[in-house]
Amino acid sequence: AHDEGTGLDITVKTLNERISRDERILEDVRRNFQLLQNLDHQNIVKVHALEFDALTQGYFLVREYVEGVSLAEYRMRYGGGKVPLTEALEICRQIAMALDHAHRSLLHRDLRPDNILVSEAGEVKLLNFCLVPESLAKEIRAESMRRDLEFSSRTHGYMAPEQFFGFPPPGPAADRYALAAIFYDLVSVRPTFD
């Protein structure tokens, strides 16, 4: 989209409809949004606003527009999807720097190739931080997996055991696990687990 007020190109992401129906969830989302909005790092997509649309009765995020492709699409430039080791290391270094910065206040909780952008210049940016409480995130993932087996295969391989099983509550190690799984996937062309 184009923001006529600022003159900036932006992206708009609608949030799960459950958010607008539960004030407790909405409060968590607002708190996590504030934490995300305060993150200022070159490898994290900047969020500008959390807005309510009266027409759809739903919430949406307004965030920076980044010219690039997802890491899942980027790797397809290489026949078979295997990224050269030095390039995979550089991509993961940038992800690690973003996570290190974010972990001062916020976990990503949904780190996978679909939530990582790579620009033409090779700059990596994280997006789609999970703003809902972990209990709702787990429900949403379960619903999505029941409806879409392909989604299930794209997420399971990057999910730390504590996220998959729901205990103990995930910490920074869950994001680091996902980063290690992404690196493994980039250099071996297969997920850590099916």
Condensed to tens digits (0 to 9), the pLDDT of residues 44-103 reads 999 999 999 999 889 999 999 999 999 999 998 888 889 999 999 999 999 999 999 999
**Does 114 score more than 90 pLDDT?**
yes
Provide, rounded to the nearest whole percent, the portion of the chain with pLDDT above 90: 60
SS3 183: helix
The model's pTM is: 0.88
Q: How large is the C-alpha radius of gyration of the chain?
A: 17
- Judge whether residue 150 has pLDDT over 60: no
What is the average pLDDT across 30-45? 96
Burial of 48 (0-12, 13-18, 19+ CB in 10 A): middle
Q: How confident is the model at residue 23 (pLDDT cuts 50, 70, 90)?
A: confident
Average pLDDT score over residue span 175-184: 95
